[in-house]
Amino acid sequence: MKRIDIKIGFNCNNMCDFCAQGAKRSLAARKSLAEIKSDLARARKTGVSAVVFTGGEPTLHPGLPAAVRAARKMGYESVQVQTNGRRFAYYDYCAELKKAGVTEMGPSMHGSRPEIHEKLTGAKGSFKEVVQGILNCKKLGMFVLTNSVITSVNYKDLPELAKLLAYLKVDQFQFAFVHLVGSAWENRKWLTPRKTDIVPYLHRALDCGISKDIPCFTEAIPYCLMKGYEKCVAESVIPEGPVSDADLYIESYGDYRRDEGKVKRAECRSCKWFKVCEGPWREYPELYGWSEFKPAREKRKRGANEKVRRHLQRGQGQSPGPAGSGCRRGGNRLPRGF
């Protein structure tokens, strides 16, 4: 299914340290309903049958329900609202979006506790609003998929965040490594963790989703750091299609992301994942270099003598225990106040 991403406005009621839009948040202008319909019609002619309304914060656009109805009338099968989730705290608003024809609610959650989430969003009370919003959406029987941006502030909290998301019964969750553009670039020195540091916590968080049969993914983490979790690489399932920005229409965001947004180096050619891996966002190696990324090699078939030698070696040492999954220790409790 091909999907169009339409940024319907850039104003926002959060002030996230990692915001990719950066200075665009000060733009008062937003797309008119006529402009949104034009984008929808243009994409529909090329076989696009899914749309995600984004921003800025799309729920601040008064024409969002009408835009959803227009998309459904044109034959769009999937309509997602990608949002900071705060307005979902109002049950009637969620119900209005469902009635209009939204099929997927996409709130963002960046920590398992208010002090983590709100440090990143810069909006007091936003954690409670997002949690209430998820509860409202699930009460309405809606499909909920969440996105969480991985930063130096929250990467150690990812297993706990996954536990909370599982408790809230979200249908899918994704952890996206911070993209160093906009405000994130301005804050890059303190906001950006090394990917090798976050991997153990990320894998434990994914274990939580896997153990609960919740589809879970991570974005902008190359395959060489995802050994054993290759099926959780989001780039393998991200729909192709156009993006409509402020005054820019990109026919294929997938091509733009692979050719302009992300980067690989010559050594990557020897990796068994080279053809499908997109590499990191290009700003990351500008900050930390390439030393963390090691090409994954194909396993070589060993002769009988080699197998015997390794078997004997294993018998001489202590075998490691299984990797822990925080999710298997039981569900998380709702935060205080719920």
Q: Over the stretch 208-232, which tens digit does the pLDDT of each residue have?
A: 999 999 999 999 999 999 999 999 9
- 62 exposed, middle or buried (CB, 10 Å; 0-12, 13-18, 19+)? exposed
Evaluate if residue 58 carries a pLDDT over 80: yes
Res 43: pLDDT: 98
Res 21: pLDDT: 81
- DSSP annotation of 289 reads -
Residue 35's CB: how many other CB atoms inside 10 A?
A: 15
Domain ranges of the chain: 3-295
If one compares 314 and 257, the residue with the highest pLDDT of the two is 257
Q: Contact at 8 Å (CB) between 36 and 76?
A: no
Res 334: pLDDT: 53
Res 298: pLDDT: 82
Residue 280's CB: how many other CB atoms inside 10 A?
A: 26
3-295 sits in which CATH class? Answer: alpha beta
Taking CA atoms, 74 is separated from 40, 101, 105, 247, in Å, by 8, 12, 20, 23
Q: Over the stretch 15-29, which tens digit does the pLDDT of each residue have?
A: 999 998 876 766 667
Taking CA atoms, 197 is separated from 49, 193, 211, in Å, by 39, 7, 23
Evaluate if residue 290 carries a pLDDT over 80: yes
Res 25: pLDDT: 67
Res 109: pLDDT: 98
Evaluate if residue 311 carries a pLDDT over 60: no
Q: Which residue has the tokens 């309405």?
A: 140
Res 28: pLDDT: 62
